[in-house]
Amino acid sequence: MCGGVVLIVTRWWLAWLLWSVACVMALLGANLSPSWLLAPPSTDPATPQHLGLVTQPVQNYTSFTPSFLQDQSSGGPAEWSAWRSVRERPRASLGLWLRCTVMGSEPRTSLHCGVYVTAVPDLPSAQVVALVGVVSATVVTAVSCLAICSSACLRLISGRNWFTIIGTMQATAGAMCLAGVAAFPMGWDSPRVQNQCGADAGVYYPSSCTVGWATYLTLAASIGLLLCTCLSSFAAKSTTTEDVAEEINKGNNVVCLI
């Protein structure tokens, strides 16, 4: 399988591989998600507001609720229903190249998602930087996972430690991810974001919008990639231990120390 070269698999090598795969999956999820910036829940102007929540009539709700749970002074179950109604309403969102829009009116609304980028000029320059940074980091991280698999057999390339080269690749990918996350809010002053979040939205200020989970996932992946750089060093050391040397001296072509 390794062309006569000894195959070495250790705990640190396996942890490095699995952590790198997790980072790839996280970046893929962030790339394919429109949930980088979330608009406030869709509301119906015709509905009354109570304590800052947009409520909807709840018919025959109290008849199914015990009396000790009803609070007539504050709305009781109806207030909880209104809170859940707001939480469950679809929210428009904006991603690096995908977006979701709420269509229809209450009570029948639906979320329609799709690609809104057809050409680079359609995006603000900051968002282009974020898109290029995150996509490039995803590609580099995917390549590094394949390289980690090869490192079980191959440990030197042109006299340089293959583990160190892979770790440098992952550190570069992590830096590109951080740059993408930092650049994305710089495009919040664009007309598209202001239409979704409010006219006062600006650089690093989303107005009524909130930062979506995809942004945090990308940030976590970038930190994970920096951690992978440390794991590469431990993985390299784990292949040169005395236990590995003993297994090689026994004539084993496959060394598995997990």
Note the pLDDT tens digit of each residue in 172-203.
999 999 999 999 999 999 998 999 999 999 99
SS3 43: coil
179 and 132 Cβ atoms separated by less than 8 Å: no
**pTM (predicted TM-score):** 0.77
183 and 131 Cβ atoms separated by less than 8 Å: no
Shared-domain flag, residues 23 and 134: yes
Q: Is the peptide bond before 66 cis (omega within 30 degrees of 0)?
A: no
Residue 93 belongs to some domain of the structure: no
257 and 13 Cβ atoms separated by less than 8 Å: no
Shared-domain flag, residues 147 and 59: no
Dig out the tokens for 91 from the structure.
């929210």
Q: Specify the pLDDT at position 174.
A: 96
Q: Specify the pLDDT at position 83.
A: 41
Q: Which residue has the tokens 């900051």?
A: 126
Residue 11 belongs to some domain of the structure: yes
Shared-domain flag, residues 32 and 59: no
Q: Specify the pLDDT at position 122.
A: 74
pLDDT lower than 50: segments of the chain:
1, 44-74, 80-86
Q: How many helices (H) and strands (E) does the chain have?
A: 7, 11
Provide the H-helix boundaries in 66-112.
77-88
Residue 112 belongs to some domain of the structure: no
Number of domains in the chain: 2
Q: Specify the pLDDT at position 72.
A: 44
SS3 53: strand
Residue 110 belongs to some domain of the structure: no
